[in-house]
Structure 1
Amino acid sequence: MVDDAIPTPDAGSRPLAQRVRDRWRRLPLIARIALWIVGVLFALWLILFITKGRFLKGPFERTLTSRLERSVTVDGDFQLYFAPIAIKFRAEGLRVANLPWASKPDFLRADLIDSRIAPLSLIFGDKVRVPWLELRNAAVDMEWSRDHRHNTWTLGDPDKKGEPVNMPLITRALLAGTTLRYRDPQLQLGTDIAFETAKARDTRFAQAISLSGTGTMRTLPFTLTGQLLSPNATVSGGKNSLVGRAVAGATVVDVTGTLPGVTQLEGSDLRLVAKGQNLRRLFDFLGAAIPDTRDYRFTSALTKVGQEWRFTHLKGRFGDSDLAGRMTASLPNGRLLIDADLATQKLDIIDVAPFIGYDLQRVATQGASGAIETVSGAPRVLPDTPLRIEAIRNFDANVRYTVKTLRAPNIPISDGAVTLTLDHSLLTLSPLTFAMSGGQVSSDIRIDARQQPVRTAYDIRLSPTPMGKLLARWGVAESGTSGTIKGRVQMTGLGDTLHDSLSTANGRIAIILPAGSMWARNVQLSELDVGTFVTKMFSGKLKQPVQINCGLIAFTVRNGVAAADPILIDTRKNVMTGRGGFSFKNESIDIAFRADGKKVSLFSGQSPVGINGYFAQPGINVISPELMARGGAAAALAVVGTPLAAVLAFADVGDAKGAACGPILSGANAQGQRTKRGNPRDDVGRGTTAKDEAGKGNKGEAKAQEKKFLGIF
């Protein structure tokens, strides 16, 4: 009973500390650890918040100097703490030294930096998020080294390869007396830009950051102006509005639209308008190379996705040609890559000229004659503009381009398409296709500028094409012409111009004529006229079409000189053979054709008909020395005999040997040609020029042959 009278202590009467300890002990171990961590972090946060983190100034300077491997100092006040969640960083007189090779002593210096930094962005993601940044009297120096291996903004190991610019995502900013300097010796680009912040006049916006600058690109001066309006959160809460302009001579680029943040280009919604006199100058700024163009104007939507700048809904014109599509510019591995899908509905032939290598101004003012130059007293039509080897080394490209119609007199080309690939100075146009007179031309061209001299491989194929359509403008009638033409060109040459490449080319050219008919009109002799040529070869005016059994016009090309190998056309009545060739070196032509009858003819004037002159000025020699000799013989027979005897001078004994069409249709060379009986032919060349064959005889005969046939070489 005595024990029962003693009162038991009530839990609520225990001291508070005791009760807390009891509850702490009852918590699981993991919960106690978590609470300890939270407590420590809160204590650190509280210490930093109260002291503003000023005591971290020394460790900050030492740590960054060690990690960045360049001097980092703060001359004035320093603050680094959580306020309350975002990191507040404030430094007065901050200086980050530059690398030894740079032209300025400091990469960054600022009288004041005041910022808010999202802490998780320092741990996760590849970009630091900065909701607020204030810079006063700051200067940033961004430079590439001369070998383009290092730059000033790639921090850390000074031998580390330079990385592309990775700007922090700044939502809002206040800039006063802030400048940015950029230098790139490889692009020959230098620019200085000044930034200032002022109160915006538009009530929708709180402030406006204006920018202005000057610079040079490949010695060409340019100016930059612009304004970025930051939204007034109490009024609009919208995105930053950007208006900018870049001017370089006649080249003007305007950009308008919105940005999510001051430097937040991801998800931007911009509109670009570019205009000028020469699109090449605009691409020079991108670090890419294209030929000259006439005046242009393009519009495009513009945004940034990842590392890509995307130009979509691109539309405009250059010269008298239209262009539409999309283009993407990116910097994988620090190297410019252009990827594009482009289309043209009507392409003017003048706008094509510089892409082949012709002088744009000459062609634009003189027309087709502007493509012809006089060199050493002879006309030259193959362009001699060098490939911009140094320029194409700086970028890569994947471009797909289509053309619906080519606007050009007497050039029946349409529905063109090309896939252009540039990979470290290896340029390929494969496939390059277009429709021509009912046929299709397919090409694969490979230009290897990785080696010197530049090596170009050509593979051009012509599918069976109606001869009447292809040769209509030269006097071949479509009605009555059922023959077709197909062909192939395979050559390889050295040189950085089209002329030099072909002047050193080796390979083969073959044009095949399967069975069919050909009817030509006898028209003027004012130019190289196929109709006139055919009528002169095959007994004057044609009363009916020429019936072709098979034909081959082929040349073997050695060091830029093409020799007939063979020229052999078998028709129902005749066998036509040819000798000679042409030169890519001086663009001269000297080919002699002869048609021999398969049956006896008493009134044949068939003697060699020549094609001579130059690529730019070809001609037909229809009054050959052999024909003159026959005329002289006829006159002599008429004097000493009777007029009927004069006919003997024009008699053709009809001993022409029909050709086997198998070797012809397979494109075999002269040594592979056979008669219908299967015997080797002895009336076609063997892949040598007349000059080569002349060298096999005595010196006097060689000189005569060389002068008579191919003195042009």
Structure 2
Amino acid sequence: MDAATSPETSAAPDAAGKPAETPPPRRRRHYLRNTVLIVLFAVFAIWLILFITKGRFLKGPFESIASSSAGRSVKVGGDFQLYFAPLRIKFLAEQIDVKNPQWAGRASLLTAKKIEARIAPLSLLFGRKHAYTVELVDFDADFEWDKAHKRNTWTFGDGSGGEAFQMPRIDRADVKGTRIRYLDPRMPLLANLNVEPIVAKDTQIGQAVQLKGDGRFRTTPFRLTASLLSPDATASGGENKLTARAWAANGVIDVSGTLPSLTEYEGVPLKVRARGKDLSELLEVIDVAIPRTRRYDLRAQLVNEDQDYRFTDLTGTFGQSDLAGKFTIKNDERLRLDANLTTRRLDIIDAAPFIGYNPDIVASKGAVAAASATGNAGERVLPDAELPVAMMQRFDAGLDWKIAVVRSRNVPVSNISLKLALERGRLALSPLTFTMARGDVASDFIFNTRQRPSAISYDIRLKSTPMGRLLAGYGVADSGTTGTIHGRIKLDGRGDTIHDSLASSSGRIAFVMPQGTLWTQNAQLAELDLGTFVYKMFQGKLKKPIEINCGLLAFTVRNGIAATDPILIDTSKNVITGNGGFSFGTEAVDLAFRGDGKKFSLFSGQSPVGIGGHFASPKLNVISPQLVGRAGIGLGLAAVASPVAGLLAFVDVGDAKSAACGPVLAGARATAQRTTKGKPRDDVGKGRVKKID
């Protein structure tokens, strides 16, 4: 093969039929190298021109392109620079004015005397925008959503949608006279913030940005201050220390932590402390309803991720009680609060808000005054504070709360376990369990505000409990008392307050006393055995306990009126019965207890002992009208006959019929009660009572 036909020199013919020449490999490499050099030279030339001119000649194109892309006017009234220095983009604009869309409340999105920044070039194309340094002078920004929460002022383009605001990552900032306004009519939230630079005293810290402002969240005004300490060498592993304080809803909130950059806080653990007068006022700001509290002081660690705010390592106090645990606030389609809490010691006064009482009033003036403060007329104890129906329907919640001990003067309560579930206005406290005087109580409470008025259900179950411990604060001696009691309260009513729901309720209340003993100063008061009663009054205790065979204290409730059904207690010496009832509506009490002896006895009254008055101020009528009448008869007999004859009026012939304990221990109604001989009882009523005023 000769040189003319070799592969290195042969080529396809051209259009004229002549073979075209192909450049040798060396020449092709030269072309590629020269092309690269030309491109690099051109880039360098552009860079050099921009560097020398600072890109000032791009001011007009920048305004035109920015205005077209943003769909609004963008003007730079002063100096303008845009170039690489050397590999970071240098941007400078003086007297800049970026207009707002026409629907906004203010004319300009932002105005500034000066904006200067060093920007990472690739961040403009990929990922989150990153600025190494930013300097702002007399910067005013207006960030606003429309009423439908579909458009906002900072989303550029055709305005068909609004994206969530994402702060660029800023390593260091120098701000002078910066003002920011943020408005969201849907929440609603209005914030006016002023940012001013300060110089930190710590020589290891370069500059700090201090922020002050005020505003309104929903209907709650607030004010705040914050300092963000920016060190000189963030890129080499420095830290940005944040300290902030806000005042709102009679409380103070402190936030502190370390940020990876000046504006990067998501996923960063922050220390939070909140203290104030009433925690319910603070949570009400975000439409979360909890019972009222006394003064609180709580600390926790906060981490924000997207729409979730997680509070962990919670510790602190409210009133005289302690609190620990964790909780999460989620703000998706519906606001939701989930909490897992523990309390070592709960003061009984701090528990008052759970039934609608103001704990401060309970502590200073007592329960009756606290009940009156809820809207009750007169002296009542059932609270008339309305359920926060509207708020309960705006958020959901879940709570698991363990309480070790309750400080209580009269009734020892411990080991409380409360589970709460709130879903679209239906609140369930189920189960709520606790130990009371060595007895266990299990209960379920349902507050269904979806129905109007609210449908409220009460179900309280008391397991076998020693009466000595249960009633120790009311004169019953623990030593010598072996009697126990168990029972259940099951009521259903309608109303938006505890008082209204109970005033309309129907159901049954029943407490059973199996065989045992009871020792107390006034245990035989209903029997009215005068000799024993006088001895108890002066000696303070009985010689021996009362022996109880069985007992039942039961009421049938219809439309808020509770009637005895029955009250029947069988002791070794007497049979005690009760009649009457009480009203949840008026809180009036009208009960009469009668004790009949099983054996012949002198000085035995046989007359009812009445309990009247109201829940707040019950009255014990030891000397009943019947007894007064019998005393008159006795005095008359003594006058016309002899003193011995006068005693006949107080003679108990001992004809009391012993109770069959089967129906008693079963909690049966009055119609099912029998004597030990199987005959129906005619001394326990029919489970009905007239209206009690």
Do they fold alike, i.e. is TM over 0.5?
Answer: yes
Provide closer, same or farther for how the CA distance between residues 560 and 110 of structure 1 changes in structure 2, counting only shifts above 3 A. Answer: farther
- Equivalent pairs counted in the alignment come to 657
- Tell me whether 1:103 sits opposite 2:105 in the alignment: yes
Is the Cα contact below 8 Å between 1:475 and 1:531 reproduced in 2?
A: no
Q: Which moved more, 1:214-223 or 1:309-318?
A: 214-223
Provide closer, same or farther for how the CA distance between residues 244 and 234 of structure 1 changes in structure 2, counting only shifts above 3 A. Answer: closer
SS in 2 for 1:268: coil
Same amino acid, percent of matched pairs:
47
1:383-532 → structure 2 map (5 Å cutoff): 383-522=383-522, 532=525
Is the Cα contact below 8 Å between 1:539 and 1:605 reproduced in 2?
A: no
Report the CA distance between 1:278 and its aligned residue.
3.4
Specify the alignment match of 1:340 in structure 2: 339
Report the CA distance between 1:60 and its aligned residue.
6.0
SS in 2 for 1:75: strand
Is the Cα contact below 8 Å between 1:520 and 1:535 reproduced in 2?
A: no
Provide closer, same or farther for how the CA distance between residues 9 and 392 of structure 1 changes in structure 2, counting only shifts above 3 A. Answer: closer
Q: What is the rounded CA distance, in whole Å, between the counterparts of 2:560 and 2:40 in structure 1? A: 84
- Describe the superposition over 1:169-219 as per-residue Cα deviations: whole angstroms up to 9, x where unpaired: 544444444332234567664320022456766553444222111224566
Q: What is the rounded CA distance, in whole Å, between the counterparts of 1:412 and 1:423 in structure 2? A: 33
Q: Which moved more, 1:513-522 or 1:3-12?
A: 3-12
RMSD: 4.5
Report the CA distance between 1:484 and its aligned residue.
0.7
Specify the alignment match of 1:698 in structure 2: none
Specify the alignment match of 2:15 in structure 1: none
- Tell me whether 1:559 sits opposite 2:562 in the alignment: no
Provide closer, same or farther for how the CA distance between residues 236 and 598 of structure 1 changes in structure 2, counting only shifts above 3 A. Answer: same
Provide closer, same or farther for how the CA distance between residues 434 and 80 of structure 1 changes in structure 2, counting only shifts above 3 A. Answer: farther
Q: What one-letter code is carried by the residue in structure 1 that aligns with 2:321?
A: S
Specify the alignment match of 1:312 in structure 2: 312
Report the CA distance between 1:88 and its aligned residue.
8.5
Report the CA distance between 1:591 and its aligned residue.
0.5
- Describe the superposition over 1:553-589 as per-residue Cα deviations: whole angstroms up to 9, x where unpaired: 1122222221112222233333322111111222221
Q: What one-letter code is carried by the residue in structure 1 that aligns with 2:503?
A: S
Gaps of 5+ in 1: 24-37, 65-70, 523-529, 692-711
Report the CA distance between 1:128 and its aligned residue.
6.1
SS in 2 for 1:272: strand
Q: What is the rounded CA distance, in whole Å, between the counterparts of 2:144 and 2:427 in structure 1? A: 30
- Tell me whether 1:225 sits opposite 2:228 in the alignment: no
- Tell me whether 1:584 sits opposite 2:584 in the alignment: yes
Report the CA distance between 1:516 and its aligned residue.
1.7
Provide closer, same or farther for how the CA distance between residues 462 and 81 of structure 1 changes in structure 2, counting only shifts above 3 A. Answer: farther
Specify the alignment match of 1:350 in structure 2: 349
- Tell me whether 1:668 sits opposite 2:668 in the alignment: yes
- Describe the superposition over 1:127-153 as per-residue Cα deviations: whole angstroms up to 9, x where unpaired: 666666555554444456668788767
Provide closer, same or farther for how the CA distance between residues 386 and 278 of structure 1 changes in structure 2, counting only shifts above 3 A. Answer: same
Q: What is the rounded CA distance, in whole Å, between the counterparts of 2:414 and 2:131 in structure 1? A: 54
Q: What is the rounded CA distance, in whole Å, between the counterparts of 2:686 and 2:168 in structure 1? A: 72
- Describe the superposition over 1:606-631 as per-residue Cα deviations: whole angstroms up to 9, x where unpaired: 22111111212112112122223333
SS in 1 for 2:350: helix
Q: What is the rounded CA distance, in whole Å, between the counterparts of 1:486 and 1:266 in structure 2? A: 54
Is the Cα contact below 8 Å between 2:519 and 2:545 reproduced in 1?
A: yes
Specify the alignment match of 1:212 in structure 2: 212
Report the CA distance between 1:465 and its aligned residue.
0.7
Q: Which moved more, 1:292-301 or 1:371-380?
A: 371-380
Report the CA distance between 1:321 and its aligned residue.
2.6
Specify the alignment match of 1:632 in structure 2: 632
- Describe the superposition over 1:98-129 as per-residue Cα deviations: whole angstroms up to 9, x where unpaired: 573x53355556675857468689777xx666
TM-score (norm 2): 0.80
Q: What one-letter code is carried by the residue in structure 1 that aligns with 2:574?
A: N
Q: What is the rounded CA distance, in whole Å, between the counterparts of 2:577 and 2:496 in structure 1? A: 36
Q: What is the rounded CA distance, in whole Å, between the counterparts of 1:5 and 1:626 in structure 2? A: 148
Report the CA distance between 1:605 and its aligned residue.
1.9
Provide closer, same or farther for how the CA distance between residues 9 and 156 of structure 1 changes in structure 2, counting only shifts above 3 A. Answer: closer
Q: What one-letter code is carried by the residue in structure 2 that aligns with 1:387?
A: L
Specify the alignment match of 1:365 in structure 2: 364
Is the Cα contact below 8 Å between 2:3 and 2:9 reproduced in 1?
A: no
Q: What one-letter code is carried by the residue in structure 2 that aligns with 1:516?
A: G
Specify the alignment match of 2:16 in structure 1: none
- Describe the superposition over 1:625-670 as per-residue Cα deviations: whole angstroms up to 9, x where unpaired: 2223333333444455565555553444544443333333332322
Q: Which moved more, 1:322-331 or 1:672-681?
A: 672-681
Specify the alignment match of 1:322 in structure 2: 322
Is the Cα contact below 8 Å between 2:97 and 2:108 reproduced in 1?
A: no
- Describe the superposition over 1:481-511 as per-residue Cα deviations: whole angstroms up to 9, x where unpaired: 2111112112223333332332222222221
- Tell me whether 1:289 sits opposite 2:289 in the alignment: yes
Provide closer, same or farther for how the CA distance between residues 146 and 399 of structure 1 changes in structure 2, counting only shifts above 3 A. Answer: farther
Q: Which moved more, 1:646-655 or 1:447-456?
A: 646-655
- Tell me whether 1:569 sits opposite 2:572 in the alignment: no
SS in 2 for 1:556: strand
Q: What one-letter code is carried by the residue in structure 1 that aligns with 2:351?
A: V
Provide closer, same or farther for how the CA distance between residues 249 and 378 of structure 1 changes in structure 2, counting only shifts above 3 A. Answer: closer
Is the Cα contact below 8 Å between 1:114 and 1:134 reproduced in 2?
A: yes
Is the Cα contact below 8 Å between 2:74 and 2:99 reproduced in 1?
A: no
Q: Which moved more, 1:304-313 or 1:645-654?
A: 645-654
SS in 2 for 1:453: coil
Q: What is the rounded CA distance, in whole Å, between the counterparts of 1:613 and 1:422 in structure 2? A: 38
TM-score (norm 1): 0.78
Provide closer, same or farther for how the CA distance between residues 376 and 466 of structure 1 changes in structure 2, counting only shifts above 3 A. Answer: closer
Provide closer, same or farther for how the CA distance between residues 258 and 381 of structure 1 changes in structure 2, counting only shifts above 3 A. Answer: same
Is the Cα contact below 8 Å between 1:422 and 1:428 reproduced in 2?
A: yes
Is the Cα contact below 8 Å between 1:115 and 1:134 reproduced in 2?
A: no
Is the Cα contact below 8 Å between 2:9 and 2:21 reproduced in 1?
A: no
Is the Cα contact below 8 Å between 2:249 and 2:285 reproduced in 1?
A: no
Provide closer, same or farther for how the CA distance between residues 104 and 388 of structure 1 changes in structure 2, counting only shifts above 3 A. Answer: farther
Is the Cα contact below 8 Å between 2:209 and 2:229 reproduced in 1?
A: yes
Q: Which moved more, 1:404-413 or 1:175-184?
A: 175-184
Q: What is the rounded CA distance, in whole Å, between the counterparts of 1:591 and 1:158 in structure 2? A: 74
Q: What one-letter code is carried by the residue in structure 1 that aligns with 2:548?
A: I
Gaps of 5+ in 2: 11-19, 30-35, 537-541
